[in-house]
Structure 1
């Protein structure tokens, strides 16, 4: 809901900053979607994880995040007057989701050593 609100509602003129960092919005998109995947995985009950498999569940979460990001960009273009959908934002969203998946796999899918 947080991402949806800030994606579709205009906050122009609110807290306008004098600091101008090029493409910082892409970093924000990347970060939001990588965190979304990690939190989505952590929020899933372990019973669900065992029912369909951890890897498949993680792929469902990533696919949801990617499609959600694309839908939000389309809605920004179609349903708002002062926001514009950006394919590079959708790419940053998707890349963030994939990196979030890799982080989950690295942190939670590791096989313990045989020592």
Structure 2
């Protein structure tokens, strides 16, 4: 196995974690937008959005921990996303602040995914 292939192989777990974080974030935002625009009614299943948020935070933390050891640049790009993810539970759900805070994490999560894939 060549040195270049070996180096790529070591980055795969980190890239997968970053991709999982991005996909969870995108799914959570999509569900939130669908509920906000009344395309989907989750009154009986509010826990689904909360569970998706927990999955997003968990996979983001996993990506950071994995990235620190394997892909430091991607981890540094993703790290600021923790701030809006930590604030979102305190930004009321029936105001414009909730989606605004949630969307501030998007550039950092996207940057982490893109950098980890290189």
TM-score normalised over the length of structure 1: 0.39
For CA contacts below 8 A with separation 6 or more, give which structure has more relative contact order.
Answer: 1
TM-score normalised over the length of structure 2: 0.38
Looking at secondary structure, tell me which structure has more helix per residue. 2
Higher-Rg member (1/2): 1
